[in-house]
Amino acid sequence: MKTRFFLLFFFCLFGAGNGWAAQSADDILAASDAIRNPGRPFSVTVTLTEFQSGKQVDASTLVSYARTEQRGGQFSNLLQFVLPARDAGKLMLKNGNDIWFYDPTNKASVRLSPQQRLLGQASNGDVVTVNLAQDYKATLAGDEEILDGERKQRQAHKLILTAVSPDVTYASIEMWVDADNNRPLKARFYAESSRLLKTAYYRKFQPQLGAERPTETVIIDGLNPQSVTLIRLSDYKARAIPATWMQRDYLPRFQPE
């Protein structure tokens, strides 16, 4: 009898424990965020290239400085435009869900929408570092086999992300996360009207600041698949980023160290 009670206790303890250990949709999303984004202040070079029917039509380069906010765990971002030369020195600041653009020529800052296009299919909200788990509620829609950005078959968790605030970049997102390692693989971004805006593939995972992170994102227009924008991330650096850099009033005085 004692043996039966022991076996029952063992099954309940460890059998139930396996259930508790299963990842929730929010856990999967947070783990995917941790792969996309370093957990420390950092800078990275962001290169955007726009293609129409396979031909390059425009390009832009920025340096992004990102640090997590003390309250809430979301990122604040300061982006400095580097190329083309006509845009050099211009700044874009994301603090909370507010985005500001600063032009040193007229020394004025204006508020931008995160949905506003920066270049090609890339919106302002696509080039800033964001923890999606802070802005969206995730539900697990099931597991699927998909083609990733390298044209390889992957078993993936499909997540449905619903915005928890009206001022985030997208009303909803479908996201596929590698079932083996929580890497982000693919995402579809939707407007409030449920119209597909764009599809993104995360690819070329490389060691960067302590983890294998995607260094390229391919963004395809929701209506015209011939309209493609490539975002490349390079030159990751862990660095101290003062909190004052993330203040709108500091923009005219910003000088990268």
Q: What is the pLDDT of residues 101-152, one digit of tens each?
A: 999 999 999 999 888 889 888 888 888 888 999 999 999 999 999 999 999 9
Residue 76 has pLDDT above 70, yes or no: yes
Residue 19 has pLDDT above 50, yes or no: no
CA diameter of the chain = 85
Between CA 156 and CA 174 the distance in angstroms is 12
Residue 18 has pLDDT above 60, yes or no: no
Record the tokens describing residue 123, joined without a space. 């919106």
Between CA 193 and CA 170 the distance in angstroms is 11
Name the residue among 63, 50, 171 with its Cα closest to residue 115: 171
Neighbouring CB atoms inside 10 A of 235's CB total 11
* Run of H or E including 124: helix 124-127
**pLDDT value for 21:** 57
Angle subtended at Cα 88 by Cα 50 and Cα 92, rounded to the nearest 5 degrees: 80
HSE on the CB side for 165, CA within 13 Å?
Answer: 11
What is this structure's pTM? Answer: 0.88
Q: What are the backbone dihedrals phi and psi of residue 25, each rounded to the nearest 5 degrees, phi first? A: -60, -40
Neighbouring CB atoms inside 10 A of 11's CB total 10
**pLDDT value for 116:** 86
